[in-house]
Structure 1
Amino acid sequence: MKTKMSNFLRIEVLSLALCIIFLAGNGHAQTKQGSIVSLEQAQQDFINLGFGMFIHFNMSTYMNDDWADPSVPPAIFNPKKLNAEQWAKAAKSANMTYGCLTTKHHNGFAIWDTKTTDYNVMNSPLKKDVVKEYVNAFRKQNLGVSLYYSILDVHHNIRPGYITPVHINMIKQQLTELLTNYGEINSLIIDGWDAPWSRISYDDVPFEEIYRLIKSIQPNCLVMDLNAAKYPSEALFYTDIKSYEQGAGQHISKENNRLPALACLPLQANWFWKESFPTTAVKSPEKMINENAIPYNQIYCNFLLNVAPNRDGLIDENALEALKEMGKLYKPGSPLPKFPGGPAPIISSNIAKFKPANGSWSSDMNIMDFATDDNFGTSWVSNPSIKNPWLEVDLQKDQRFNMIVITEREPNITKYRLEYFINGVWRPLITGTETSRVKIHRFDNSWGSKVRILIEGYKNVPSIAEFGIYNERR
């Protein structure tokens, strides 16, 4: 597992310089791809894409498991008939508007010409940059280009308990390569981060640092974390687009969604190609379009259908036929509904996470620390006999903060006051009347060692799932 790290310092300096240039332009600079657009416009542009092709193609293509052995040599990656133009034409036949390719999956094999590691496609029999082949082919068909990238990387030990600053630099350099060498990238889907199975938190690999690096290189590139399922569907936590991996049981609400969203599903039984694929029926084209793409598009949701190339680097005939059938059913072109807009995504670390909490009386099974346990499925619940409930988080030292996010178990609280404790005195911060389940408050930088909510109006017994405190970079 030899890794080349000699260019990290150069990349870090380059990234910083790009960021300075971007910030100096106050968001109105020009990129190689054109003018910088607002985040809300980029989100709407993504919704308008409507229907795309997810392309899982990597080491797992050559194995019987979607989670490839991280020790297998590059020699097994050998798509002798690789034809990305076939992929692009297949996407076009389905009236898809863009693609998204797995540049690196969880086993750590990079299918582009990276300088960060020898564990890449240039040391395989193919010796060809698959990302380059893909972007060129899709652009030739006037299709948009997105990329997938896994933070979890078992080959390079980017996993719980082993992550070092060297690993974080490697991630930054790999993303810099992908966002610098292949033209305009519409969106970057990130996987293996803050998921129950990956257990790599947004603190282990700092989300805000990675997010701002991406935006410093390509300001219009949307950052989409595929593992945002634990977060409430009413707000954008650690993502520009709310993602729903339907195969993992994540389903968007067709009645209540108000966020720009992505729903993804594989056409076959697995994400990566398996030997049974050519002789096994694919999922119904009618269902993929009439029960997914079309209705999702009407609720601000883009549908991304995975089609897995085989070990020769080609899409199987049964999948090609299904895509043609989809093209007869899906007709893009008409304007899609405009999503309502809302607060900017939450991207910084929650400094209240796992901090001590205090509050008015509650039953033992619903005590105060459930509001700071980083689990939206548990809650602090006030005892019904308390008429003026309150909850307090102890940051244990004076800290700077400029955002508070209160997530209730369900919409309930109607009036409240937020205060902070500094120099032995409680000071007023905000008087709130926000009635939604997730109440996001951004304000000028403040300092304090404690923060509390005094609840003055509510319909039912107050219940807070998470009381988040953040110090955003501004």
Structure 2
Amino acid sequence: MKNYLLLFTICCTLIQCKNPVKKENIIHAEQSKTMQQLKSDFIAQRFGMFICYNIMSYGAKWGEANYPIEAFNPQKLDCNQWAEAAKSAGMKFGLLTTKHHEGFCLWDSKFTTYDVASTPYKKDIVKQYVDAFRKKNLGIGLYYSIWDSTHNIDKDSITSNKLDFVKGQITELLTNYGKIDYFVLDGWYWKIGHHEIPYQDIRTLIRKLQPDCLITDHTHLQAPYHMEIPYFEGPFGAFPPEDNTMASALGHCSVKGNGWFWSEKTPNGLIEGDGIETILDKLTKCESRYCNFMLNCMPNRDGILDTIYIDMLNEIGQKWKPNSSRPKLPRQDPQIIESYPIKTITATSGNADYLIDAHQKGSDHFYWKSDPNLPQTITINLGKQEAINSLLIVPNHKCKPAPETALAEGNITHAKLSLSTDNINFTEVADVKWEPNAKYKSINFKTSNAQYLKLDIINANGKKAIITELDVGLAQP
């Protein structure tokens, strides 16, 4: 028996030596602040650097698979230069594209060889960025695209192995670099959907690894749907409306480039009609609307910012100062933190499947649309009884047109919600009316155990009711 115990001890020791755990990289703590506090802290930063740097900087086309990576060899890469430039402008955080849609990783990922470790450069750029920005007391944001053309992580192709790939890479990013303040996902909702790669699975993983990390998904929907920080994509014309009180963020490009990334055009000037005053105007307006402004700054193929950025950021820092008299972030609406998968869903008309798996192909959006007859009834089956207190209705909304001219057509103006444990006896828990606009609609009620939800749509704006997607779960402020 002693020999078996000795052998077991030796084996455990060898395993630990082969896979050493760096204690400083492991975060076990529970969320240290309320969501309201975390959002308030985020909005207090106001201004950040969106660092779009990846294989597209070296000639890859948007979403191009298996682009050759031998040319990735930035001999002058200097993340300290990025951080110093950010600091000169008054920025408070950074956001680095660790992996874009093409699948190339700026860190040494054990899940692929399509990464920086396989290039002539070899060194971990995520670590250099994190270290440089922390030295300047700047917050740390990481961007990660779930859609991955090189590894075929795409709609209608997700397997358990591909889900493990996504979770594995997210785990690497959120355990190997200390505390991460802001994690941005892309190519998920709009390309694959939160159904095929389950939202709750990903959110639970992020929460486990980084309890205080705020999440954005580039849904192109300006609503806190399956995220904490809604995102406005500036180049599409998206911009927070004047009365916006959602803690949010906006990405903006001013300098010419390969889309968001560097190209030969980048050192040669700003996008036509843009300039320092444009940036300052948008920054000031975003600040008053509780929306962090993230200016895209594209490192070149040497890994440094061109002079145009250094000069521009320095001038912004001289001309812009935070508005210290801005009122504190208003109380945010309760937000679903435990999202329950919907097993089945039916509707009196239209394609009910879109209510749990809306998607887009190119510029075509596939949402649920009723026939002209109101009222309409949608019945949700969660598959089992769950403790719920919130139903989120994502309205008819797209990244184009911008929110100022957003689609009000079809958005719900009056609805009732009832709950049941047996799909026979329903109890009404809410009767709600809204303005006919494109803002998200949240129905909150006393926490109850239920398996079935019946949403009766009494009125909508226009001839048909239109809903992008529904989310059911437990919400908290």
Which TM-score band applies after superposition, normalised by the shorter structure? 0.7 to 0.9
The aligned amino acid for 2:318 is K
Query: Among 215, 218, 230, which residue is 1:242 paired with?
Result: 230
Aligned: 1:61 with 2:57: yes
Going from structure 1 to structure 2, the CA distance change for 1:300 and 1:347 (only over 3 Å counts) comes to farther
Query: Among 431, 439, 442, which residue is 1:439 paired with?
Result: 442
Query: Among 317, 328, 343, which residue is 2:334 paired with?
Result: 343
Match of 2:67 in 1: 72
Contact 1:55 1:100 in 2 (8 A): yes
Stretch moving more, 272-281 or 427-436:
427-436
The gaps in structure 1 that reach 5 residues or longer are 1-6, 28-35, 360-366, 384-388
Query: Among 89, 95, 101, which residue is 1:100 paired with?
Result: 95
Going from structure 1 to structure 2, the CA distance change for 1:369 and 1:148 (only over 3 Å counts) comes to closer
Stretch moving more, 207-216 or 436-445:
436-445
Query: Among 319, 326, 334, which residue is 2:316 paired with?
Result: 326
Going from structure 1 to structure 2, the CA distance change for 1:62 and 1:449 (only over 3 Å counts) comes to same
Query: Among 445, 454, 459, which residue is 1:451 paired with?
Result: 454
Aligned: 1:222 with 2:214: yes
Shift of 1:338: 2.2
Going from structure 1 to structure 2, the CA distance change for 1:422 and 1:183 (only over 3 Å counts) comes to closer
CA distance in 2, matches of 1:141, 1:168: 36
CA distance in 2, matches of 1:106, 1:342: 32
Aligned: 1:287 with 2:278: yes
Contact 1:371 1:464 in 2 (8 A): no
The aligned amino acid for 1:319 is Y
SS in 2 for 1:426: coil
Contact 1:52 1:99 in 2 (8 A): yes
CA distance in 2, matches of 1:194, 1:461: 27
Contact 2:286 2:292 in 1 (8 A): yes
Aligned: 1:204 with 2:196: yes
Shift of 1:258: 2.0
Shift of 1:41: 0.9
Aligned: 1:263 with 2:250: yes
Going from structure 1 to structure 2, the CA distance change for 1:449 and 1:301 (only over 3 Å counts) comes to closer
Identity between Structure 1 and Structure 2 (%): 32
TM-score (norm 1): 0.79
Aligned: 1:419 with 2:418: yes
Going from structure 1 to structure 2, the CA distance change for 1:203 and 1:319 (only over 3 Å counts) comes to same
Match of 1:171 in 2: 166
CA distance in 2, matches of 1:161, 1:280: 41
Going from structure 1 to structure 2, the CA distance change for 1:59 and 1:43 (only over 3 Å counts) comes to same
Match of 2:240 in 1: 252
Contact 1:352 1:393 in 2 (8 A): no
CA distance in 1, matches of 2:445, 2:430: 13
Match of 2:47 in 1: 51
SS in 2 for 1:356: strand
Match of 1:33 in 2: none
Contact 2:334 2:475 in 1 (8 A): no
Going from structure 1 to structure 2, the CA distance change for 1:68 and 1:428 (only over 3 Å counts) comes to closer
Going from structure 1 to structure 2, the CA distance change for 1:75 and 1:43 (only over 3 Å counts) comes to same
Contact 2:72 2:121 in 1 (8 A): yes
Going from structure 1 to structure 2, the CA distance change for 1:115 and 1:433 (only over 3 Å counts) comes to same
CA distance in 2, matches of 1:205, 1:91: 35
The aligned amino acid for 1:126 is Y
Contact 2:109 2:169 in 1 (8 A): yes
TM-score (norm 2): 0.79
Contact 2:385 2:421 in 1 (8 A): no
| Alignment RMSD (CA, Å) | 3.3
Stretch moving more, 430-439 or 100-109:
430-439
Match of 2:376 in 1: 391
CA distance in 1, matches of 2:40, 2:166: 28
Contact 2:95 2:142 in 1 (8 A): yes
